Each structure stands twice: as structure tokens, then as C-alpha cells.
Structure 1
Amino acid sequence: MKQLKLAVMALFAFATVGTVSAQDSDNPWVVGFGVNAVDFRIPTEFGEYAKDYIGTSDWNILPSVSRISVDRYLNDGFTLQVAGSLNKIETFSKEDDMDELYWAIDANVKYDLNNLFGDTAWFDPYVYLGGGYANLGDAGEGTLNAGLGFNTWFNDNLGLNFQSGGKKEFADKVQDHFQHSIGLVFKFGGKDTDGDGIYDKEDACPEVAGLKEFNGCPDTDNDGIKDSDDACPEVAGLAALNGCPDADGDGIADKDDACPSKAGLASLNGCPDADSDGIADNKDKCPNTAGPAANNGCPWPDTDGDGVLDKDDKCPNVKGVASNNGCPEVVIKEEAVKKLENFAKAIYFNSGRTSFRPGVKGKLDLMAGIMKEYPKANFSIEGHTDSQGREASNLRLSEKRAKAVVDYLVSKAGISGNRLTSKGFGEAYPIASNKTRDGRAQNRRVEIKVVK
């Protein structure tokens, strides 16, 4: 008896180091195997009743597996327990000894006290109430059962059970008695398809092993972001970039970064722009000197140093002037200029028309001859009218007459059209009075000017 008492005390101490969780809907079944003790002496006075309940000197114990139980979790902390026990009664009371076989079958409803006090995970205390059938020798009858107990779990499936309670008889065939039991219990029935320790009913990813903090879903790269929310599930990254890495720390995920090893700009797909010319260094032929995209990021050259960039310089290897597109300023002899001006004064048109009067074409040919002597010179042909008629009509007429001169010089006299421009000014710039016939004749003129 002393050995049993010591065993019970040891099991109570061992119960305090248990872990894991109580029986619940995840593991709804529990099977138990253990020993039971029956105490038949129940005094009538309360003090003696409590003393007898605590004392072990009159316990009847069969030194073998003498109790088997099966528990099925129901709901909301309630569990149905069916148990069968066997014992040999040798001590009935202080005065009476016997040698009779005892057996009992019980069905109890247990209630988990953790539902009231809070889940302790490893410690699972309960109270129970139920009924059963107890048989002693040749007599047997139904009983009302009530008591308490606890399970403490060592791991996910194995635990220790202790249960103690009283059985109230109804027909005086089997005296009221206490029955205590202790043994090992095994819980099972929970389904964990992926084996990650999280049961399928609570596992958001039941077919893929995962982590408890992600409800059973995996985090392959261990970056704290579950794979389903991770844009780069196999490479550890940052939460701000949906789980993708940023090797150069420029705030652009490597998968979207054209230059993942060098910090750059979002506008250039993560590539740097050292000279801030808007062209990524990896596409910039002059990465440290700002230049336009049209010249691959390099500044436009000015080979001849005349202030006109080569791209705009028609004479890039010879210093010139901007007014002549980078070419040297053409110098025409003063004598030639005066001849052109005199020839221009002899250009007359039929009244209100753009057709030339007789003899004018000869003058145009002479003008073309001078232009050919200076092949790099450009000229502007300007048309003017008197103030007779409507101003708008005069402007159109002057434009057409200036163009008629250009057309003749190009098509008949062989002068390149790139060297000539035409413009009409109408009556805007008179050189004589429009009130006299002679003055109006002077105003109806064509002028030729050298373009510088």
C-alpha cells in the first residue's frame, strides 16, 4: 500500500511538467489503461467521511491493469467516458474482511474546467457525473457516479490520468463506495495531412507543411512572410516589397530592378544616372558628363570651336558664324551687290499680275550669273507694292511676285533653291510717296539681299 501511495505522489509531481494541449475536437478520442482502488467503508459523519476518503489503508487494489476507459469529446468542453474496471475486495470495513470479485461498467459525462478558468494547455482538470453498474460477488446494482480528475499531457498523444469519485447505490445490494484510478491515456483522431503539427481543421494549408504563426501555411524563405503573400517565396526579402529582396537598397525589388547590384532611380528601372541627364549609366556613353539622349548621353561636340554645335553646323570643320549655320560668312564684293540691286530695280510685272514685263528675264539671267560667282552665298528675294487697292490683296500679290522671281532663278537660271528665300511685304515699306504716280512706281519693286 505504501508503494501505491508513493507512486501516486510521484505521478502527481510528474504531472506538473507536462506540455502540449488537452483533449478537444482535434484529438477527440482517448483510450486509458491503469489501476483502480475501491474503498467501501463510508462513515456517516462528515469528518470521518473526509478522513476515510484521504486514507489509503483500506483501499482494495488489484496489482495489474484493472481499468480500461474510452473517452469521446463531444462539444464545448463536454466528453463522454465509458469505463470498465475489475478489482478484488479483501477489505470491506474495519471489522469485516472478504474475498470477493468486484467489477463495474460506468458511463460518465466529463466537463473540462479549463473552459471556466482558461486553458492551461498541459493540465486538463475536470468534474464528472454519470451512472453505471457495480457488481460485488453475487450482487449487483446501478449507481450514481460523481467525482473529479485530471489529465496531464506529456506530448501530443500520451498523458497521465487520475480520477477519483464516489458511487451511490440505490438498492442496498452494493454498498456506497469510493473508486480511484490512475493510468496512462492516449489521445488520437486528429488529422494532420501535411504532418506540420497543425490539424487540418485549423490548417489554412492542410496539404503543405507550414508554421503555426501562419495557420499552417509555409514560409519557404523564412523571411516572415508566408508564401501565399510572398512575391518571391524562395528568396528572403522585405515586407515592404512583398517579400522580395532589394540587394542595392534603392527601394526597387531585384526582380523589377534592371541594375540590382547598384542603387538607382525608379524612373530608370533601378539603374543609376551619375550625371543626372535622364539617361541610365548602363546606356550612357558619357555617364559622368551630362548630354542629350540623341547623342547617347554625351554632350554635342563643336569640332571647329565656332560656337555652333556640330549637329547644327553645316561646316563642322571650319569656323563660321551662327547666322550662316556655322559656315564662314560669305563676302560678296560691293560692286556685285550694287549690280544685283540695279538688276532688281529693273524687274517689272504686268499690272495686278505676277507675270514679267518684256526684257525682265534678261535682267534675271544677269542676276543668276552674279549668284553663280558666289556659290556659297544665300539670297533673300523681297516683294513690295504701292498702296493702291486693299492691303491684304497687296500683301498676297507681293508674296507671289517675290516667289515668281525665285521660281525663275531656280527653274530657268539653275540656282539651287536652298540658297534662295522669298517674302512679300505688301505696302508696308514704301521708299517713295504713294500720292504721286512716280512714287507709286518706285514702291512697286523687288529687292534682293545677301543673307548673312
Structure 2
Amino acid sequence: MKQLSRLLVVGLFLIGFNNLQAQDENNPWQVSFGVNAIDVYPTNDQDAAYPTGTLFSEYFNVNDHWNILPSISYVSVSRYVGDGFSVGARGSLNRISKLGDVAADDLSHYAVDGTIKYNILKEKMIIPFIEIGGGYTWVDEIGFGTANAGIGASLWFTDNIGFTLQTGYKHAFEDYGVKHFQHMAGISIKFGGTDTDGDGIYDKDDACPEVAGLAAFNGCPDSDGDGIEDGKDSCPNEAGSKELNGCPDSDGDGIADKDDACPNEAGLAALAGCPDADGDGIADKDDACPNEAGPAANNGCPWPDRDGDGVLDKDDICPDVPGTVANNGCPEVTEAVQKTLLDYAKTILFDTGKASIKTESEAVLQNIVAILAEYKNSKFTIDGHTDSVGSAKTNQRLSEERAYSVMNYLIENGVASSRLSATGYGEDRPIADNNTSQGRRTNRRVEINLVKPSN
């Protein structure tokens, strides 16, 4: 029987070797061999003819419960099928001298198992795994089927050689079967690497395993022969320099042709390889005035200043009339102009007790319109005032109506409404004595005042 068990293990190995195909992407095969231990005690098998403990009790009681054959007692082979999964077969043999706490008469034990293994981690030095499967076990020539589940881990010393430690539970289907745990420790060997692209470099060491390449580039190609492998070559089919990642530079401006908007004219990196003759930061090909510096907003041409006041036309509210920078290119209202406006405004005549402007004031109003037209960005307020004759309420209303009457006239004659505002002050701001007829005449007035910008 001992020889039969050994032959069975060898046969199992040969069958697996001839039918399995892959272990992982770089090493398609894995063969393991080592020592196994059988423990029937921590199975909680209440139907057993020998004493057992609760599940996992005295799990590591090696001396009292473990059955170990001091030689190579298991061999396995497996095939990688993708996504961390492997399928395989294992053969093992042992001698049972301990059935729980009861001595046995060296019962023979051998088993054949099919396995499905899942590696929890990949490409690590220590790789834990879980394993399930099923098989057939013989104890003293009595056979029974088992369902198996276990865990373990492999410590890989190199890409090919490692140490595997695992434990698993085998549940017997038949009542007479021996439920037991099987522990294994052994050497694992991965091998059988392939060279898909036939470049003499195995896939596991080939950075480009599906494209034939050079050993100098870890199996990757250099199609244009410029000494830069294609994967790092920005222009793999055109020979170039290392400084430009393998790309050519026809105009020698330090910018690769593929990134150069003007590949045949030396230029600047900031302008995608195009020249800028006038140095205004706009490429000559996009510059309407390539030999005269100007801003991009004006297509590379300088902004004009028609009135020569130092304020460019684009910023000049009065581009045809010289003005000041502080007043956005428009002339500023001087004290003399302000006095003229006040003098004109005081001569505006209204119908008695009304806001209607008399026709003889038309010329004065037109003079005011002409002055305001010269100062296009200046704002003015029209202030209405009365004497103290009559009620304060009536005088307030009349002053407001007269101020608005003048403002509306100016708007109707071309002065922008956004530049004008009107206010009535009634009899509150006299500038002469209301006790005299001359004083009252002076107090009945309209003023046009410049609104000074707030700082």
C-alpha cells in the first residue's frame, strides 16, 4: 500500500504537469512539495469512534494530535487562470498514529485533491491566499470523499522560489469518513516564463512583451533608431535628439517641430516657435504691424492719440479734443467756465409763478448747451431757488419744477441725462436780502453747478 500511495502521488504530478498551462502572467507554473500533518482532534466530530474536541480546540497541539511523516509527503501542481485564481491538483500521503487522544496502529493515509486557489495580494513578497476544493481520501484502505477549504501564505525569496505554509479542513461526506485538518509546509517553485514577441527577453522581464525590442531598452523597440525607446520617444518614427525627447527641430530654435507653429523659421518658445520682429509679444504671423510694437488688443499695432493729449483714443472719452489724463482725455471745467454757466443760468426767465421758460431765454439756454457739450464726461446739477414770498411749500414745489424744466430742456437738446440731476431748494438758500425787491429778484434764480468727483 505504501508503494501504491507513492505511485499515486507521482502519477498525479505527471497528470497535472501535462494538462495545466499557466500560474501567473510571468511564471505560468507552480509546483510545491513538502511535509503535511494530519490532525483529527479539533473537528467537533461527535459521531467519531475516537474522542474529538470542539472546532479548533488544541489546534496547535503538535505533540499529542499531529500525525507527521518525516519526509516529503505532498506534491502539488497548479495553473493560473487569471485575476488571481489558480486551479490545480495535489497528492499527499501520511501515517496515522494518533486519532485524537487515542493511539492508532499506523494507519495509512493518502489523498488526491483538486484545488481552486485565490491569491489575495499580487506581486508581493508575502502573498496570502484562500483555497477550496474537493477530493478523495483513503485511511487504511477505506476511501471517502471530502470537501476542502483552507488558507495559507507564500513567502517568495525570488521571482521563482518561495516557502508556502497552509492549513485546511477536510469534511468527510460518508459517516465512516475521517474528518480532519491537514497542515502543509513546503517549497514552491514557479517557472515556465514565455517570450510572446520572440525578442529573446522573457515576458516577465520584458517591458514591451508584445512588441519585439532591444535588450538595452528592456525589450522595448526604437523604431527610428535615435537611441530613444519608442515608449519615451515623443516622435517614435522620426529621429531626433534626447533634449527634445526624440523629436526633430528643423529650424534649430530648440522647439520640436511637432510643437513649433513655425517649424521652418527660428522663433521663441513663448510664441510656439514663431518669430517676433518688433518684440511686442505677438508672433509676426498674427501681428498686423510686425515691425511696429503694439498691444494684442489692437492686433499688434500701437494705439493712436488723435488729439495728442497723451490719452490713447481707446481710453479717451474726448478723442478729438485735447484734455487731461485725470479727466479721461476730456478738458476740465475751469472756474471761469463754472462762473460763465452760473451767469447764464441766472438770466433764465420763467413765467410768473410758473415753471415754463420764457422764449427770450432760448439763446441763453443754447449757450449753456454748447458749453456742456465741450465737457462730455462732466456732470452737473441744476439747482432751483425762490424768494420768501408765499408759503414755503409752494416755493419748494416751484423751485423743483423750474430746475426740472431747465434740465429737461438741456436733455432735449442733446445733453446726456446721465450727466444731469435737478434739485429744488425753495427759499432755504437765499444769496440776498428778501426784505428788498432787488434781493428777492436775486434770490429767484437757477444755478448750474459742476458735480466734482468724489475721491
**TM-score tier (shorter):** 0.3 to 0.5
Larger Rg: 1
After TM superposition, the score normalised by the length of structure 2 is: 0.43
TM-score calculated relative to the size of structure 1: 0.43
